C-alpha cells in the first residue's frame, strides 16, 4: 500500500482501531473503518480488502494479534455433521464457505512494530530491510537568465516543405491481461524455483522465494491503488494467490529443515514426500487464476 503523507499507515490504524473497539474485531469491520478514515483524509480508493487482509496477516505472524474466536454468519447455524463448529473452532488458513467471522484480539498496543509491519516481518524472518532514502534538499529556483539585446531582423528564406510521410496508425493500448502479464511471468518463475526444491532442497532458496513473494505482493498492492475495472480484478486475484502462498510457505520451510537434518538415505526418503506435498500446495495457490 502506498505511503500516505496525510494519513496513518495501515499498521498504526489497525492498532488504534482495535484499541478503540475494546481490543477485538474482525477483518471486514477493520477494512470498512479504514476506508472511512481515508475518505476523511481526502483519499479515495486507497484501501482494498486484499491489502488490509495482508496487513492483518502480517500482524498475526508477528504475534501482535491473536485469533480469539469465530462467530457463525446469520444464515449458518454453525453445526456441521452434528458438531458445533463455533464452540472450539480452530482458525484454518483456507476455511470453506460459508465462513464464520474470525475475531482477532490485540496483544500489545505499545509494540513499536505496529508502525512498520512489513519491515518488522522481514526482520523476523531474517530478511534485509532497505533503509529509507533521505530526502533531497530543496534548492531555491535559479534566477531567470538575462535577455540578450534585440538584434536587427534578418529576412529569412523559406525552405521548401518536406514531402508528407505516410500516416502511421497509433498502436493499440494494451489490454488488462497484457498489463498484468509481467506479474504472471514472475509468478511462473517462482513456480519453477519451487519445483527445484524437489530435487535440491535448500533453505537459501526458500528464503529467496519468500522474499520475492513479499516484494511482488508490495508491487501488486501499489498497482491496485490506481487500477480499475478488469485490471483491478486481475490484480486482486494475483494478490489473493500470493497471500495464500505466503501462508503455506511455513510448511515448505519446516519440510526442507527435516530433509536437511536427515542423516541417512532412509530418513531422507521419509522426509521427501511431505516436502513434495507442501510444494504442490503452494504451486496450486499460485496457479489458481480463476479464483476471485
Dist. CA 216–CA 89, nearest whole Å: 33
**CA–CA distances in Å: residue 71 to residues 67, 172, 176:** 12, 50, 38
pLDDT band at 99 (very low <50, low <70, confident <90, very high): low
* pLDDT tens digits along 223-243: 989 989 999 999 999 999 999
Q: Given a cut of 80, is residue 74 above it in pLDDT?
A: no
Burial bucket for residue 201 (CB in 10 Å: 0-12, 13-18, 19+): buried
Instruction: Enumerate domains of the chain plus CATH numbers.
Output: 10-124 (1.10.10), 176-287 (1.20.120)
- Please name which of 210, 201, 206 lies closest in space to residue 275, comparing C-alpha atoms: 201
pLDDT at res. 143: 81
pLDDT at res. 218: 92
* pLDDT tens digits along 24-55: 888 888 888 888 888 888 887 777 888 888 88
pLDDT band at 182 (very low <50, low <70, confident <90, very high): very high
Q: Given a cut of 50, is residue 82 above it in pLDDT?
A: no
Dist. CA 57–CA 27, nearest whole Å: 10
Contact between 256 and 197 under an 8 Å Cβ cutoff? The reply is: yes
Question: What is the H or E stretch that residue 105 is in?
Answer: strand 101-106
**CA–CA distances in Å: residue 237 to residues 170, 233, 244, 247, 292:** 31, 6, 11, 16, 5
DSSP state letter for 170: P
pLDDT at res. 70: 79
Average pLDDT over residues 187-193: 90
Q: Which of 21-25, 88-92, 106-110, 145-149 has the lowest mean pLDDT?
A: 88-92
Q: Which of 15-29, 71-85, 117-131 has the highest mean pLDDT?
A: 15-29
Find the length of the chain.
292
- Buried b or exposed e, range 121-158, using 16+ CB within 10 angstroms: bbeeeebeeeeeeeeeeeeeeeeeeeeeeeeeeeeeee
Contact between 184 and 262 under an 8 Å Cβ cutoff? The reply is: no
pLDDT at res. 122: 84
pLDDT at res. 167: 85
Q: Which of 118-132, 137-151, 156-170, 271-285 has the lowest mean pLDDT?
A: 137-151
pLDDT band at 133 (very low <50, low <70, confident <90, very high): low
Contact between 54 and 217 under an 8 Å Cβ cutoff? The reply is: yes
The answer to whether the pTM exceeds 0.85 is no
Give the residues across from 70 on adjacent strands. 102
Amino acid at each position: 500500500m502506498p505511503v500516505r503523507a496525510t494519513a496513518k499507515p495501515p499498521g498504526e490504524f489497525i492498532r488504534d482501531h482495535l484499541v478503540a473497539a475494546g481490543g477485538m474485531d474482525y477483518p471486514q469491520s477493520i477494512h470498512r473503518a479504514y476506508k472511512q478514515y481515508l475518505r476523511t483524509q481526502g483519499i479515495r480508493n486507497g484501501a482494498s480488502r486484499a491489502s488490509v487482509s495482508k496487513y492483518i496477516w502480517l500482524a498475526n505472524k508477528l504475534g501482535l494479534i491473536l485469533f480469539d474466536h469465530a462467530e457463525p454468519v446469520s444464515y449458518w447455524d454453525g453445526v456441521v455433521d452434528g458438531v458445533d463448529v463455533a464452540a472450539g473452532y480452530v482458525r484454518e488458513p483456507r476455511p470453506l464457505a460459508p465462513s464464520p467471522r474470525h475475531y482477532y484480539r490485540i496483544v500489545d498496543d505499545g509494540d513499536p512494530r505496529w508502525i512498520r509491519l512489513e519491515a518488522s516481518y522481514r526482520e523476523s524472518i531474517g530478511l534485509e530491510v532497505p533503509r529509507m532514502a533521505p530526502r533531497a534538499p530543496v534548492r531555491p529556483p535559479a534566477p531567470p537568465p538575462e535577455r540578450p539585446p534585440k538584434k536587427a531582423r534578418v529576412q529569412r528564406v523559406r525552405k521548401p516543405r518536406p514531402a508528407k510521410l505516410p500516416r502511421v496508425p497509433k498502436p493499440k493500448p494494451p489490454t488488462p491481461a497484457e498489463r498484468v502479464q509481467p506479474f504472471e511471468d514472475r509468478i511462473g518463475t517462482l513456480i519453477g524455483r519451487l519445483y527445484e526444491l524437489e530435487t535440491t532442497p535448500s533453505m537459501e532458496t526458500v528464503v529467496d522465494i519468500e522474499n520475492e513473494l513479499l516484494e511482488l505482493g508490495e508491487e501488486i498492492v501499489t498497482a491496485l491503488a490506481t487500477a480499475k475495472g478488469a485490471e483491478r480484478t486481475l490484480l486482486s486475484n494475483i494478490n489473493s494467490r500470493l497471500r495464500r502462498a505466503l501462508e503455506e510457505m511455513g510448511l515448505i520451510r519446516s519440510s526442507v529443515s527435516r530433509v536437511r537434518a536427515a542423516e541417512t538415505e532412509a530418513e531422507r526418503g521419509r522426509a521427501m514426500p511431505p516436502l513434495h506435498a507442501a510444494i504442490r500446495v503452494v504451486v496450486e495457490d499460485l496457479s489458481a487464476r480463476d479464483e476471485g
